[in-house]
Amino acid sequence: MGSKPIEGERKVFMTGNEAVAWAALAAGADIMYGYPITPQNEIMQYWTRLGPKYNKKFLQTEDELSAGFTTIGGVLAGRRAFTATAGPGNVLMQEPMSMAEAMRIPTVVVIQQRGGPSTATVIYSQQEVTLTCFGGNGEGLRVVYSTSSHQDLYDYTIKAFNTAWKYRFPTFVLSDGYQAKMRESVVIYDPEARGIQMVPTEPFLGKAGTPGEDRPAAHLRNTYNIEEELLEVLSKDIEEYERVAPEIIEYDAYNTENADLLVIAHGVVFRSAAMAVKDLAGQGYKIGYFRPITLRPFPKEQLRQAAQQAKQLLVVESAYGQLLKIVQDNLYGLNVPIKTLLRPGVGITPEEIAEKAKALLAGKEA
């Protein structure tokens, strides 16, 4: 009771949802608020089993609106608070997260993508990219980490709390139903043992002292009387977002020098892409890959650098062009043909990617 949930590190075999719960514990998260939706349920289930042993709290809310707004409340009280959701729950989650975005409230949300639109499937997809990156009536001033393995889920859940509290932008760990439900090996560790310092939290409301006497009262709002007042606040937030973006941006790249084909993929699809690319590169093909880890902010310059050396690009995703739109936007002006393998709501195997890549390399597909 009360001691560290993980001393040092250990290798375990578990589901992605379990890894998220352990990571939140290891990161020193204080409270989770959540509403059941597949495929994220086990995050709550593990949290409610593990949490009480370490004085951690949980509230099961009436819906995802409430899960998001209570999470905001937890953060305003100065706690590392988080929630997790998926699909239609992610749609509802956009309302509270737009408030978090407007007020620079460091919420952490884990998204386990499922098929859409609507209720669709409870299994898997990559169709919540646009929603998670740009949902809400705002400008997408958020951080979105796209994970491709359980190790990523563990590492980036811990990192999400630090990114959120350091930069004060709502931070998302974007995963999917395959990663949520599948079991694989992962090393779980005490962040401190790895030299990772958790960014300290502080209350936005309920600080020490009497407001108006010892200190000014906190008057937090997201509503403004005039257009220029809003523009002033937004301009400052946008400027800050763009200034810190280079510190936040993460990506992975392989064999990008003068590639005949550069494969671009994120999340679990990246695993298939990496297998296919490495296999083909081993056979002598000039093929590389680029994986954005942060979808927001996006590694624009790094992708442009790789893409402008390539003869053609192949965007692969389990969605009908959500990553593609981001890629096109960031590569605007470059004269490199962009080919696609888009399979909304279903998994993509290395063989499928290799087949498509070989056809493109042979000049057989337009």
Partner 1 sequence: METKEILPKMPKSWNPASKPHKFCPGCGHGLVLKALGQVIDELNIQDRVVFGCDIGCSLLSWDFFNVDTVQTHHGRTTPVMVGIKRANPELITIAYMGDGGGYAIGSQHLVNAANRNDIITAILVNNTVYAMTGGQMAPTTMPDQKTETTPYGRDIKETGYPMLGPEMVAAIAHEGAYVARGSIAKFRQLKTFIKKAIENQMAGRGFSFVEALSTCPTNWRTNAEKTWDFVENIMPQYFPIGEYKVPGGKEE
Nearer to partner 1, 92 or 316 (CB): 92
Give the footprint of partner 1 on this chain (CB under 8 A). 30-31, 33, 57, 59, 61-63, 65-66, 69-74, 76-79, 81, 95-96, 99, 203-207, 209-213, 217-223
- In the complex, the smallest distance separating the C-beta of residue 220 from partner 1, rounded to whole angstroms, is 4
60 vs 185, beta carbon nearer partner 1: 60
Considering beta carbons, is residue 105 or 111 the nearer one to partner 1? 105
Sorted by sequence, the CB contacts under 8 Å of residue 283 that are 6+ apart come out as: none
Antiparallel, parallel or unpaired: β 183-189 and 9-15: antiparallel
The single residue listed with the structure tokens 């993509």 is: 348
The secondary structure element, H or E, covering residue 338 is strand 338-342
Q: How far is the CB of 208 from partner 1 (least distance, A)?
A: 8
* For helices 150-167 and 227-248, angle between their N-to-C axes, nearest 10 degrees: 140
Helix 16-26 × helix 150-167 angle, to 10°: 40
In the bound state with partner 1, the residue whose beta carbon lies nearer, of 117 and 203, is 203
The first and second tokens of residue 117, run together, are 């639109």
Helix (H, G, I), strand (E, B) or coil at 253: strand
Which is nearer to partner 1, 213 or 228 (by Cβ)? 213
Q: Which is nearer to partner 1, 71 or 90 (CB)?
A: 71
- At closest approach, how far in Å is the CB of 57 from partner 1? 6
- Please identify, using beta-carbon distances, which residue of 33 and 154 lies nearer to partner 1: 33
Shortest approach of partner 1 to residue 211 CB, angstroms?
Answer: 5
> Strand 143-146's sheet: what is its strand order?
57-60, 31-34, 81-85, 108-113, 171-176, 143-146, 294-296
Q: Identify the helix (H) or strand (E) that includes residue 7.
A: none
The pair of three-digit structure tokens given for residue 317, joined into one six-digit string: 């995703």
Number of C-alpha atoms within 13 angstroms, CB side, residue 287? 25
CB of 222 or CB of 258, closer to partner 1: 222
Contact 325, 130 (CB under 8 A): yes
Taking the complex as a whole, the smallest distance from the CB of residue 84 to partner 1 amounts, in Å, to: 15
Whole-number minimum distance, CB 29 to partner 1, in Å?
11
Q: Which is nearer to partner 1, 212 or 284 (CB)?
A: 212
Matching residue, tokens 């494969």: 263
Name the burial class of residue 124, with classes exposed (0-12), middle (13-18) and buried (19+) by CB atoms within 10 angstroms of its CB.
buried
| d(C-alpha 261, C-alpha 289), whole Å | 8
Round to whole Å and give the CA distance between 69 and 331. Answer: 36
Q: Least distance (Å) from partner 1 to the CB of residue 207?
A: 7
Least CB distance to partner 1 at residue 192 (A): 23
CA dist., res. 303 & res. 290, Å (int): 7
Least distance from C-beta 244 to partner 1, angstroms?
24
E strand or H helix at 12, and its extent?
A: strand 9-15
